[in-house]
Structure 1
Amino acid sequence: MSKSQHAKGPSLRLLRVGENVRHAISAILQRGDVQDPDIAGTSVTVSEVRVSPDLRNATVFVMPLGGDPKGVVTKALNKNAAFLRGEMSKVVHMKYMPRLKFIIDESFDEASHIDLLLRDPRVQRDLDHDDAHADDWSDEEE
């Protein structure tokens, strides 16, 4: 079998490139280099960058402070992707600079939803019930 068939996820190289791209984009956005009224004054968190195996495309997961219910910030970032790519090329040295695609990071909403589920009284009751049984098992071992 080929090496790619054994791989469980992105290679260490892809993760390292993604992290370098994430840091570069974060720095550019933090400095306020993008001259767009939809982005100006908005704090944007770049949570993750996933780079394609050929290093030609990168999906940038962002979360604007306060959310982006109408998609204004992500549209502005995608509109300015070529500028960000050019600025990034000054900091990240690669043979090919990946094309950037910005999307909202839904993982924050997903984590909040899971937290709400875990705080549900019915789930707490079941968790407490499991803890009581775990204590019973540890008492039997002694």
Structure 2
Amino acid sequence: MKAMSRSSAPSQRQLRVGELIRRTLSEVLARGDVHDPELNALSITVGEVRTSPDLKVATAYVLPLGGRGAEDALEALKRNRGELRRALSKKVDLKFSPELRFVIDQTFDRMDETRRLLAQEDVQRDIARPDGDGG
């Protein structure tokens, strides 16, 4: 019996398909190809798309321009997920059109928090200390 891999790292295929879906979703949203004026009025960044190992579920990490109205943007995307999935299936040649899930991209918030932590006086002092100093 073959042991199952417990690696959580995505395969090259998952990464390739995720990036293809990310670019296609970004294009569809930028061009306003969806029949929802509320969604078309928003400028939404698709930062990353992660796919399940079987490629049947694609989770898109999204953020509206400026980060304001994130929950409204999420609701508009969820409301239009069927139409977005159909647009995706027309533009991307996959065996299955994946189920689309949308979540708010927290990457920028985490980067801001990391910058804030690194700017703290005690952290700066530790960074400036030469290696080997017992301190």
After the TM superposition, which of the residue ranges 30-39 and 107-116 deviates more from structure 2? 30-39
The alpha-carbon distance between structure 1 residues 2 and 119, as it changes in their structure 2 partners (threshold 3 A), is: farther
Alpha-carbon distance in 1 for matches of 2:70, 2:46: 18
Helix, strand or coil: the match of 1:90? helix
1:7 Cα deviation (Å)?
3.8
Supply the distance in 2 between the matched residues of 1:46 and 1:70 (Cα, whole angstroms). 12
In the TM superposition, what are the counterparts of 1:62-141 in structure 2 within 5 Å?
Answer: 62-69=62-69, 71-129=71-129, 132-133=130-131
* Partner residue, 1:28: 28
Structure 1 match to 2:57: 57
CA RMSD of aligned residues (A): 1.9
CA distance in 2, matches of 1:76, 1:55: 24
In the TM superposition, residue 8 of structure 1 has moved relative to its aligned partner by: 5.0
Q: Superposed, which structure 2 residues align to 1:9-24 within 5 Å? A: 9-24=9-24
| 2:111 counterpart SS class | helix
Distance 1:61 1:124 in 2: 32
1:69, CA displacement in angstroms?
4.8
**Which whole-Å CA distance do the structure 2 matches of 1:3 and 1:76 have between them?**
42
Tell me the number of residue pairs that the alignment of Structure 1 and Structure 2 aligns: 133
- Partners of 2:102 and 2:8 lie apart in 1 by 25
Alignment partners' CA distance in 1, 2:4 and 2:47: 26
Match of 1:38, SS state, is helix
Gaps of 5+ in 2: none
**Does the CA contact (< 8 Å) of 1:38 and 1:72 recur in 2?**
no
Runs of 4+ in 1 over 4 A off after TM superposition: 1-4
Q: Which deviates the most, 33-42 or 11-20?
A: 33-42
Unaligned stretches of 5+ residues in structure 1: 137-142
Kindly, what percent of the aligned residue pairs are identical?
Answer: 44
String of CA shifts for 1:10-69, please: whole Å, max 9, x gaps.
Answer: 110111111111111011011011232332322111011111111111111001112145
